[in-house]
Amino acid sequence: MNRRLALDKPRQHELLVLRLALALTALICVSSGRAEDHVIGTRGSQWNPIVAFIDAGDSVVFTGMASHETELVAGLHPEGAPAWGSELDEEGFRVTFDQPGAYIYKCHVHLNAGMVGAIVVGAIEPAHLSAIDAAVAMLGEERRIVQRIVARMKREIDRRARN
Ligand SMILES: [Cu+2]
């Protein structure tokens, strides 16, 4: 009889628990490993890229932030999404996106230069795009600039849908 294979009952139970724990750890690593960091930089007084596509659960890290700041434009995001606002010059400011939808943000300092960007998280519902359009129509002096970026975002969404 091979004594090494003939483990007693408590020892077998111990091994089973160990195997389950390892399997669970692997599962957690795989599911959390899918969340990615995406870098949005600056190029003069423009965001780079101007329109970013990410998945729900991913994060954006803002770089090249000397003389810039980033903040969500009120009303131009999925309902209930938390607002963000960095300090001026805040390098590496990070935002995590749990809710799918379109997020329009700006650099307040360079708003007049057109420093507005869009982050598209996951799949966009047509109703959400309509809500964004309605909110843009309500904007004051920044309306024209924001409209240009929203139009660009829609073109890029269409182009990706065709590919
Ligand atoms: Cu700026």
Distance (Å) from CA 65 to ligand 1 centroid: 8
The type of residue at 80 is G
- d(CA 119, ligand 1 centre) in Å: 17
Cα-based angle 91, 135, 145 (whole degrees, multiple of 5): 55
Which tens digits make up the pLDDT trace of 78-105? 999 999 999 999 999 999 999 999 999 9
Average of per-residue pLDDT values in the chain: 89
- Which one is predicted more confidently, 141 or 57? 57
Q: Are residues 17 and 77 in the same domain?
A: no
Span from the CA of 67 to the centroid of ligand 1 (angstroms):
6
Which CATH number fits the domain that encloses residue 79? Answer: 2.60.40.420
Considering the domain architecture, whether residues 3 and 69 belong to the same structural domain is answered as no
Boundaries of domain holding 6? 1-33
Q: How many Å lie between the centroid of ligand 1 and the Cα of residue 98?
A: 25
Tens digit of each residue's pLDDT (9 = 90 or more) over 151-163: 999 999 999 999 8
What's the pLDDT at 29?
A: 45
pLDDT of 12 reads 72
Distances (CA, A) of 104 to 16, 31, 92, 125: 50, 28, 19, 16
How many domains are there within the chain? 2
CA-to-CA separations, 144 to 66, 69, 110, 112, 151, in angstroms, rounded: 26, 20, 14, 10, 11
